Structure 1
């Protein structure tokens, strides 16, 4: 029965393609140097792991760059245009507001959360969310970032001077605790108990969504529901939704108690959370957020906020382990700002950490947590190349490839060089887009940057990051191997080593003192 349904879907797809000759013409105008097979098209290229550089967004991105920044491929009966060039990206982002077809699978988890919702749902919700993410509000969260990242630094202490380990668990639980506290007003202490059901469920769901995105035979909902994996997906999705629903209930109960004046622990001077601000912001409009709408938007913030910052910071740690001269500059900047003290990081410190910000941006350029985003063409769109896209075409904006396009980043586009973000304005405003671009860009960009800067600063104040002991010099010069499960991951799981920087500073100080004494003796000769 299952294979019969698959066969029917394949036949329907083939008939659709034949009836849309304009799509075939677009593909002819924007060729790809890979064989297109009957029925499946280029689906065989959709690999999730980076074996020999074959992960799909890298392989197709290179072809797009070689083809002037744009190419096309078939996924069964669906034609996709892949863009690796900022000028075309800008046209698409301004003309096509509907998110891509494959994002419907993410909506099976978060519902109509605004990041992937249809335009008619996204637009009014954006009006509510935009003021919530103001810098004034975000600045209030720095104390949370600092406290939680100090806990993270303490948790890392047993690893100092020890064996290789994955920094992912420490960063992921830090971001989870920070996001839950700033968004929902609760501290789940997952840093001390990393086996939180939400994190386990989120990891499973992320991998499952990625598999479905690159498996056209699982696109039809009626086929996917017949697979054994569907029941596992529903089980883990239920855990995620139940977690957020329970937190909303707790928060509503706290607010109700406070309004009655029955709880002295709550006060109007307590820091407001995203949930508080969303309720207030929606209350200014005619129609307030329902509990379902609150859940959908909170799921977006919690899930995206947890994973994006953790992925970005983990890649940064992996890159710093491979580039000690960059890390040395970072330590120098941190010493200038904090003067080797252990005082708390404040909101006033963040703008002073300019080189740290450049390091994070350079990491996001080479390893953007979300390497691709997609849009649907609803009306004719003429591209700078002269090709006109028509309704029915999907566009994949390949952020990974755009960030490595040598036309805009230069001959050293593949190199890790943070200084490029301190050398003046970019050639094109759309060539750097780790969090997409307006109008439907990620509102949490500044939140994520502040969180990453805080966690990395507090980690690097105490530790020096070293490469894994099992990697030789040649391996350390190679690009990181990555995989894709909604977000990009390091296939080596962000392995590093760390050493206590305080002890190292003492030995460095003695060495410097000896060098000065030697220099004095030489000057007397």
Structure 2
């Protein structure tokens, strides 16, 4: 019967066989470039897709396992999503080479453009290079010092809210309080908007924020949804669009409010944010004001581009500060010795007073900074970042081929025994107080590294120190973190059940 089949069927079968053979040969040639590197067992055509697909908890477990393999083999690890290779790297020397050589990001970052446009995080290299020159000085020490009045006022509100939880059952501090405090603080300082109303900072906003991160991660792990033409036909895209509309309402409201305030400002004061701290402290210039000023002389900073940077700064500021504060309270809550030493430092600086934190106080908080750094080392807010290799790059053990997506494993780098010593997985802030700084800068990746590192480190450290100072002076925290389970929704997050109790501090 087969000899009676039409010629077109034979032709189709031959073409199909030839196509499969060609794809197989191309696949072998591509994978041959990574010969000698550890990887998971591969299946033809799909590579490791079957091992990668899963929820955020599964992705975290994968990241943790790959980190251990990199640590033991002292080599990068390669993961194959079909024909696409992702080279996972955590060795400090390799991290330094890659983050300084490559500024482009893989197409995965495009999944967030419906939300963040061409902001600093998602922008292609040429846009980033243009904008970073203008924005690099946005969060200098002098600018951040001007924000301290808002930091103090917002943290005071946080402490008063936490006092209502005294004597009650353990609660979810990040979703109930920290998320809203950090969002309001970002809106007031980085965007120059004061007295944010409850109609902006809502539960709906934070739920939409969380869901957007989950949807982006879900799409990244499903190669069938990578093409925009396919993704736009799915229910996930429609849900993403609804969530983004909620988030854009916040940034639109902020921009309109600030534009109106600027219009109502005297001509001699246009372009200058006249916000003062609660004690009439120095003036400061907000992130949004700087963008609006630059747009007057730089036509590339359109209203759309400004909006992208606004959305990016809200996301970056809120998520990183809120999650770092959460993990810090979680850690000191289950380690009374560390919490008491932190309180002792605050007593040495502030005595028994409840006065506001000043810039001189921040400089004296050495142990507080060590606590924050140790939290960031072990629990980086974003556990991995990606770069795109736009050319071949020789590393000490391997040459990265052009076209490779390079994954920097911040989680693994911060827990490397080779870098941090045999107690690498222990929470020990004292390591940051040694005369010789621990590890190497390229293994401390909470703020990324290299040419596209985060510009908001000074801002984050200042607000975190201020929050901890107020909280620890008046409250004690109790937690249980032994069975901490984590997931990756782009950000590093607890799965559930890791709650905190609050007690009034007994002053001595």
Q: Same fold (TM over 0.5)?
A: yes
Distance 2:331 2:406 in 1: 31
Distance 2:196 2:24 in 1: 53
2:126 alignment partner, one of 113, 120, 123: 120
In structure 2, C-alpha distance between the alignment counterparts of 1:367 and 1:108, rounded to whole Å: 28
Change (3 A) 1:382 1:235: same
Look up the match of 2:421. 410
Shift of 1:438: 2.1
Aligned match of 1:277 in 290, 307, 311? 290
1:441 aligns with 2:445: no
Distance 1:367 1:89 in 2: 18
Distance 1:77 1:389, change over 3 A: same
366-375 or 428-437: bigger deviation: 428-437
2:157 pairs with 1:151 = yes
1: CA distance, partners of 2:454 / 2:147: 18
Contact 1:435 1:445 in 2 (8 A): yes
In the alignment, is the contact (CA less than 8 A) between 1:100 and 1:373 conserved in 2? no
Query: Structure 1 residue 384: deviation in Å?
Result: 1.0
**Which residue number in structure 1 is paired with residue 364 of structure 2?**
352
| Contact 1:14 1:77 survives alignment (8 Å) | no
Pairwise CA distance, 1:89 = 0.7
Q: Name the CA shift for 1:181/1:433 in 2 (closer, same or farther; >3 Å).
A: same
Task: From 236, 239, 252, give the equivalent of 1:245.
Answer: 252
Unaligned runs of 5+ in 2: 1-17, 277-282
Matches within 5 A, 1:335-346: 335-346=347-358
Tell me by how many angstroms 1:143 deviates.
Answer: 1.0
Distance across 1 between alignment mates of 2:293 and 2:400: 42
Tell me, yes or no, if structure 1 residue 107 matches structure 2 residue 113.
yes
- 1:136 is matched with 142
Q: How does 1:2-151 map to 2 (within 5 A)?
A: 18-19=25-26, 21-32=28-39, 34-46=40-52, 47-50=54-57, 55-151=61-157
Q: How big is each residue's C-alpha offset from its partner over 1:113-158, in whole Å with a ceiling of 9 and x where there is no partner?
A: 0222111100110011112222111110111111101000001111
Structure 2: distance between partners of 1:16 and 1:467: 54
1:156-188: per-residue Cα shift (whole Å, max 9, x none)?
A: 111112210111021111100100001222246
1:452-471 aligned at under 5 Å gives the runs: 452-468=464-480
* Between 197-206 and 412-421, the greater mean CA deviation after superposition: 197-206
CA–CA distance in structure 2, aligned partners of residues 296 and 130 of structure 1: 16
Residues 487 and 456 (structure 1), Cα distance of their counterparts in 2 relative to 1, 3 Å cut: same
Q: CA deviation at 1:49?
A: 3.9
**What is the alpha-carbon distance in structure 2 between the residues aligned to residue 405 and residue 315 of structure 1?**
19
Aligned residues of 1:23 and 1:393 also touching (Cα < 8 A): no
Distance 1:413 1:260, change over 3 A: closer
Q: Does the Cα contact within 8 Å between 2:274 and 2:284 map onto a contact in 1?
A: no
1:114–1:297 Cα contact (<8 Å) kept: yes
The more displaced of 144-153 and 64-73 is: 64-73
Q: What residue in structure 2 maps to residue 512 of structure 1?
A: none
**How many Å separate the matches in 1 of 2:147 and 2:284?**
8
Which position in structure 2 is the counterpart of 1:206? 213
2:241 maps to 234
Unaligned 5+ runs, structure 1: 1-10, 469-475, 510-525
Cα displacement (A) at 1:97: 1.3
1:498 aligns with 2:502: yes
SS at match of 1:488: strand
What CA distance in whole angstroms lies between the structure 2 residues aligned with 1:190 and 1:86?
A: 44
Q: Do the aligned residues in 1 keep the contact of 2:106 with 2:388 (CA within 8 Å)?
A: yes
1:228: how far off?
A: 1.2
Contact 2:67 2:412 in 1 (8 A): yes
Computed over aligned residues only, the root mean square deviation of the Cα atoms, in angstroms, reads 2.5
Partners of 1:413 and 1:220 in 2: CA distance: 40
Give TM-score, length-normalised by structure 2: 0.89
In the alignment, the residues of structure 2 paired with residue 13 and residue 108 of structure 1 have an alpha-carbon distance, to the nearest angstrom, of 35
Instruction: Tell me if structure 1 keeps the 8 A contact 2:192–2:275.
Output: no
